[in-house]
Amino acid sequence: MAAKRLWAVVGVGIIVLVMNSRLQSRSYRMTTLNAIPSVPGTIPGIPGKIWQSAKDGTFTKDQQTIIDSWLLKNPNFQYELLTDQSAERYIVARYNETRPDIVALYTALSIPILRADLLRYLVLLSDGGIWSDIDVTCEVGVGHWLPSDTYHTAPNISLIVGLEFDMPSDEARPVYSQLTNWVFAARPGSPHLLYVVNSVVKGLYDIAAENGVQPSGITLDMISDVVDVTGPKIMTLSIVQSLGEMLGRTVDDRDIAGIKKPQLVGDVLVLPGAAFAALQNGFPKDQVQPLVSHHYAGSWKGPADEARERRKKIKEGEAKKAA
Average pLDDT over residues 302-320: 51
Q: What is the pLDDT of residue 8?
A: 45
The fold for domain 31-322 equals Spore Coat Polysaccharide Biosynthesis Protein SpsA; Chain A (3.90.550)
Cα distance between residue 310 and residue 54, in whole Å: 28
Over residues 241-248, the mean pLDDT reads: 98
- What is the three-class DSSP state of 119? helix
Q: Round the average pLDDT of the chain to a whole number and report it.
A: 84
Q: What is the pLDDT of residues 171-207, one digit of tens each?
A: 777 789 999 999 999 999 999 999 999 999 999 999 9
Higher pLDDT, 18 or 303: 303
Place 236 in a pLDDT band, splitting at 50, 70 and 90: very high
At residue 219, the pLDDT reads 97
Taking the C-alpha atoms of residue 192 and residue 249, their distance in angstroms, rounded to an integer, is 15
CB 187 within 8 A of CB 158: yes
Chain centre distance of CA 204? 19
pLDDT digits (tens, 9 = 90+) for 5-46: 444 444 444 344 444 444 444 434 444 454 445 566 688 889
List 136's β-bridge partners, or say none: 294
Q: How many whole angstroms from its chain centre is CA 196?
A: 12
pTM: 0.83
Rounded to 5°, the CA angle 149-150-153 comes to: 130
What integer pLDDT is reported at residue 298 of this predicted model?
64
